[in-house]
């Protein structure tokens, strides 16, 4: 499994670029990723272009197929 650590805040465009690059590295079309994840091609297109608003569940499905691992840290920030 390829591990990519993302330090928040991260933009939707950055997430989309990571997904697009990995999908292309694996020689998958958007339609292929759609079939493997059960997520529509349109949704994948929107995510990759940074205009979609994917849920964590959606990102986990995509990451699982692409061999990516999602790691997040939630910290209590003092005001």
Query: Where in the sequence is the domain holding 48, given as residue range(s)?
Result: 2-69
User: What pLDDT score does 46 carry?
Assistant: 98
The total of other beta-carbon atoms located within 10 Å of residue 45's CB is 15
Residue 76 lies in a domain: no
Residue 30 DSSP SS3: helix
CATH code at position 56: 1.10.260.40
The pLDDT tens digits along the chain (79 residues) read 655 555 556 789 999 999 999 999 999 999 999 999 999 999 999 999 999 999 989 999 999 999 988 877 666 666 5
């Amino acid at each position: 499994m390829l591990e990519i650590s993302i330090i928040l805040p991260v933009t939707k465009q950055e997430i989309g670029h990571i997904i697009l690059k990995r999908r292309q590295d694996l020689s998958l079309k958007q339609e292929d990723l759609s079939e493997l994840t059960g997520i529509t091609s349109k949704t994948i297109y929107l995510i990759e272009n940074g205009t979609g608003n994917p849920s964590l569940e959606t990102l986990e499905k995509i990451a699982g197929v692409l061999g990516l691992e999602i790691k997040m840290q939630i910290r209590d920030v003092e005001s």
